[in-house]
Structure 1
Amino acid sequence: MIPDVLRQYQSEIVEALGETFVMVGVSVVAAVLIGLPIGTFLFLCRKGSLLENKWVYSILDTLVNIVRSIPFLLLVVFLIPFTRLLIGTAIGTAAATVPLAIIAIAHYSRLAEQSMLDVPRGVLEAAVAMGASVKDVIFKFLYVEARSGLVFGLTTSTVSFISYSTVMGIVGGGGIGDFAIRYGYQQFKTDLMLYVMIIMVIIVQLLQFVGTTVARKIDKR
């Protein structure tokens, strides 16, 4: 049975969840389309790897570390001018996706690099010995061997993105976290806050379960 307080704010909760899914969805897409290639270059350009390049590795490694080391709330504020320049406004759900996408790229690129480091070196050496091109090594060997770790890393990252999205009310991004603050905390409705927290825990648990299950099923080891 749905509690009365949830029934009362049903439409607002649905809207807030939709905003959260938009922000997290854009972050996941950015992580895969940009973060994964950056993580791949980090792996390939490190010392002793296939495309060893000290300068490229140092630049990418430094940029990733800088973004990941800045407290997210400060990063959101710092990126307001860039967000306004990029999409014409610094307020709203669309604007909130910009800092989220940037932290998502940095976060997942590092996890992707770590997943690839777990691939046995002999597999890549054998691929090169067979005359495989760099493209073939990446898509037919590296990603195949690291796929379980990549999926698990993306799952972990997505959970983090959901957590990051809860503070996007500072730029009018909305989302379920902003709803809990405005309608729960600020209006002294502790029960509403508790129910929202339970909803988020359920969503995260389902996401973690699906991601972990997929990662285990595609693990070749």
Structure 2
Amino acid sequence: MDCNILLIEDDMHIGNLTKMFLEAEGYTVNWIEDGSMALNKIDSLKPDLVILDLMLPGKSGVDICREARAFYSGMIMVVTAAEDEMSEVSLFKLGADDYITKPVRGHILVARIEALMRRYKLVQEAEKSLYISDAYGIVVNSENQTAYYEQKPLNLTNSEFEILQLLIENKGKTVSREHCCRVVRGIEYSSYNRSIDMRISGLRKKLIQAEIYNAIIKTVRNQGYRLVKA
């Protein structure tokens, strides 16, 4: 299973053995020993999984886990010693997704990593489905306001993107001019206001410039617009 791991462990022997074992299993592993470097590394590497020892020099694993959750959405597995007083509830409240106690056995660690990554991929797919819409090869991402056709970006204005997203979400159906006006920021609906028509015209030109010939925006007289297969 493809997975980029950041290992934060100050014990040289444990860190070296863990890194070697996980790399032998096909994982990509970056290893640091100092807790004070952890947050910058998590931010720059953006690993799928952080394996985090609680007892670290520079900054404790507890602080790292809590502070990382302000910007990091990947998985965190905490490594605890048997005598650590942190309860399971406390670890999960800090932001940990799982924990494992020392001494860590390799096959158990791998099994836990695989379980976490299955969860992580399900979450990513669920989040992606909330933001991604597509029709006739055109894909829009509402999270970052981008649109693509055959993986090539479309150069759209904000209002053109909003109209395209609306039409894609209602592909094959007529969207009223009033609905378009409500969605596009800065346009007040009026039967005499042609602003939305001008934006539709501009969007049509952008689709032609992008060599999108299998989808067209049809004007439905006295009703609105419809994105259909050409």
Please indicate the TM-score interval, normalised by the length of the shorter structure.
under 0.3
Q: Higher helix proportion, which one?
A: 1
Question: Which protein, 1 or 2, shows the higher relative CO under an 8 Å CA cutoff with sep ≥ 6?
Answer: 1
TM-score for the superposition, normalised by structure 1 = 0.27
Q: Higher strand proportion, which one?
A: 2
